[in-house]
Structure 1
Amino acid sequence: MKRRDMLKTLGIATVASGTGGIMLTEAEAAELNDALNIALDEYAFPWDPADPDVPGRMNIARVPDDYFMPGRFAGKNVIVTGCARGMGADAARRLAREGANVVGLDILEELGAETIESIRAEGLNAAFVPGDITRDSDCERMVSYCVETYGSLDAAINNAGVMDALHPDEEIDYPNQRDRLMARIHEAGDPYWNRVMEVNVTGTFYSMRHELRQMMKQNTGGSIVNIASVAGIRGFGGTPPYVASKHAVQGLTKNAAIDYAPYGIRVNSTGMGTTITPMFKRAFEIIRQRIGTGFKDSGISLAKIESLLQYSDQNKMGSTSAEQVAIMLFLLSPEASNITGATYNTDGGFSVY
């Protein structure tokens, strides 16, 4: 709470000054750094107990869940799709703590509203727009709302996405939902293919179209980050529309980077690997239930499941939402001024071996 309470004071002072930042002496900066613990202290820490087979084995020190950089997005107006939970919720919260005015959109109306209200309860600026990115009118409305509420649109994280055709809060019942759940191509149902492609590809396109229209109209530049996946650069067994859709998101990112660089608009994406989120947990529940029906395949799709960092972690843990959000916000920020059309493979080294 100490960090967040101090952020409120800093955010108010920063916005009031109209400078986009606070000028501090070296001593004041050092004092502030100590107070907020901005500096991350360590790169890694030893296994405990030590690995007898690999002397000196270390765990990577994770970005803390509540880490943020005060003032980095002060005065910026930012959209986050899929804001109700997981990475979208964490991105919206960290953006607000870093000074942004956040507009979140999600199909989960009650949970989305609760998430945004929890951000507002910290004294930060955030607003919720219920909607489905597969409806063009909803994407248009979220951009219009951002402009009407905060005056402009500076940046966006297009995070909303799905791995199956179930509603995000629908209970999983694999035997009765096979045509809407993960399957190999010869077994896949039309509802599964159509919904995943509709959300991940068409929804991202609709979101980008309205975001870019507004940014072009403003003529002040901007930044967009699309959330893809390591599945956007390689194959994964048993998830054909997800793999195809995330390759398409990468394609949209590269296309937009070319078309809008002359207007000061940068467009990048992240290619995450295994990340501990509600979507990840749902996917493994689907797999568990599928195995329970006696399903068997060649096994090759799971021949490699761990990234370099996951393999090296004492608990074999995948990445955290906070680790993914840290890269999203870096790419979104002016710090990434020389980066556009890039995919940051936030996959713990999964794709390099």
Structure 2
Amino acid sequence: MREQGGMLAGKVMMITGASSGIGAAAARVGAQQGAALVLMARRTQRLGLLAEELRDKGAEVSCVQGDVTDAGDVVRAVDSAVRRYGGLHAAFNNAGVVTEPALLHETDEAQFDTVLDVNFRGVWLCMKHQIKAMIASGVGGAIVNNSSVAGLRATSAGPSYVAAKHAVLGLTKSAAAQYAGHGIRVNALATGLTRSEMSEGVFARDPGAEERMRRRNPQARVAEPEEVAQAAAWLCSDLASFVTGATLAVDGGAGAW
């Protein structure tokens, strides 16, 4: 159900990696909070089913099938927001990929390229075109990039993933400083262990991983994707108007240890 006067009311919000997990949860939270949504993901069928679910609840939703590493796809998504809704006010750059961890000297070059392309270059490419649209509108906007606790320290996810997520935080801070004068805020989430397709894939490959990760977390649990999505929605809203260049840990206290 769409909330009247929700914290994203009147805003147009783009979400990448929206077909499942944190991205789909962000779409649901964004719709509840009154945003018009532009959803982007590679899996057309799943994206369409999510859009249908949200429209049935009164949300305004459009979908763009695409890959964040493809400049043409990203441009189509941003242009869709501008053409259909008149502008772009918020973006949650959430699309990501994880591969089976390997020691640095044993990492396959193609695997390294995939992890960096999706998790880092994809964020840069989305920001590049989102920021252009926000500057053109003259009213600014807010961007949230989904990094990870792996952006703050080394984790078992492996060197490629850790490097990519660290890079996202650097990109976030640089953009926040460069575009504050345009009224554009740029922040990041350092997301901890969250229930998603990616985490379930890790647990399937390593049955003991979930228990080990729980023990490293003061709350000793796995987050639900909606918990991360709520944090992203807040940072995209005017309630976070004096927050930019920040990294918000949504990790159950893992970073405190």
TM bucket by the smaller chain?
over 0.9
Q: CA deviation at 1:237?
A: 3.2
- Where does residue 217 of structure 2 map in the other structure? 307
TM-score (norm 2): 0.95
Q: Distance in 2 between matches of 1:229 and 1:261?
A: 24
Residue 92 of structure 2 aligns to a residue whose secondary structure is: strand
Q: Distance in 1 between matches of 2:177 and 2:38?
A: 27
Q: Distance in 1 between matches of 2:55 and 2:101?
A: 37
- Where does residue 325 of structure 1 map in the other structure? 229
Task: Check whether the contact 1:201–1:248 (CA below 8 A) recurs between aligned residues.
Answer: yes
Q: CA deviation at 1:75?
A: 1.5
Task: Check whether the contact 1:184–1:238 (CA below 8 A) recurs between aligned residues.
Answer: no
- The 5-angstrom pairing of residues 159-308 of structure 1 reads 159-164=94-99, 181-237=100-156, 239-288=158-207, 305-308=215-218
Residue 54 of structure 2 aligns to a residue whose secondary structure is: helix
Q: Distance in 2 between matches of 1:150 and 1:327?
A: 24
Q: CA deviation at 1:100?
A: 0.7
Q: 1:102 aligns with which of 18, 34, 37?
A: 37
Q: Distance in 2 between matches of 1:259 and 1:157?
A: 19
- Where does residue 117 of structure 1 map in the other structure? 52
What letter corresponds to residue 193 of structure 2 in structure 1?
A: T
Q: Distance in 1 between matches of 2:122 and 2:205?
A: 24
Distance 1:184 1:224, change over 3 A: same
Question: Aligned pair count?
Answer: 255
User: Is 1:138 equivalent to 2:73 in the alignment?
Assistant: yes
Task: Check whether the contact 1:92–1:102 (CA below 8 A) recurs between aligned residues.
Answer: yes
- Consecutive unaligned residues of structure 2, counting only runs of 5 or more, are none
Over residues 251-271 of structure 1, what are the superposed CA-to-partner deviations in whole Å (9 max), with x where a residue is unaligned?
110010000111111000000
Q: Distance in 1 between matches of 2:87 and 2:175?
A: 20
Q: Distance in 2 between matches of 1:270 and 1:233?
A: 11
What letter corresponds to residue 307 of structure 1 in structure 2?
A: N
Q: 2:242 aligns with which of 338, 345, 349?
A: 338
Q: Distance in 2 between matches of 1:200 and 1:183?
A: 17
Q: Distance in 1 between matches of 2:54 and 2:16?
A: 15
What letter corresponds to residue 106 of structure 2 in structure 1?
A: E
- Where does residue 128 of structure 1 map in the other structure? 63
Task: Check whether the contact 1:196–1:245 (CA below 8 A) recurs between aligned residues.
Answer: yes
Q: CA deviation at 1:81?
A: 0.3
Residue 39 of structure 2 aligns to a residue whose secondary structure is: strand
Q: Distance in 2 between matches of 1:240 and 1:347?
A: 20
Q: CA deviation at 1:211?
A: 0.1
What letter corresponds to residue 329 of structure 1 in structure 2?
A: A
Percent identity, aligned pairs only, is 37
User: Is 1:347 equivalent to 2:254 in the alignment?
Assistant: no
- Consecutive unaligned residues of structure 1, counting only runs of 5 or more, are 12-20, 22-70, 165-180, 292-298, 311-316
Over residues 289-326 of structure 1, what are the superposed CA-to-partner deviations in whole Å (9 max), with x where a residue is unaligned?
xx9xxxxxxx9xx698521111xxxxxx2111121111
Q: Distance in 2 between matches of 1:92 and 1:304?
A: 27
Q: CA deviation at 1:206?
A: 0.5
Q: CA deviation at 1:186?
A: 2.0
Q: Distance in 1 between matches of 2:213 and 2:251?
A: 17
Task: Check whether the contact 1:80–1:104 (CA below 8 A) recurs between aligned residues.
Answer: yes
- Structure with larger RCO (C-alpha < 8 A, sep 6+): 2
Q: CA deviation at 1:344?
A: 0.5
Structure with the greater alpha carbon radius of gyration: 1
Task: Check whether the contact 1:250–1:343 (CA below 8 A) recurs between aligned residues.
Answer: yes
What letter corresponds to residue 251 of structure 1 in structure 2?
A: G
Distance 1:110 1:308, change over 3 A: same
Q: Distance in 2 between matches of 1:146 and 1:237?
A: 37
Residue 250 of structure 2 aligns to a residue whose secondary structure is: coil
- Where in structure 1 do 4 or more consecutive aligned residues deviate above 6 Å? none
TM-score (norm 1): 0.69
RMSD: 1.7
Q: Distance in 1 between matches of 2:114 and 2:201?
A: 17
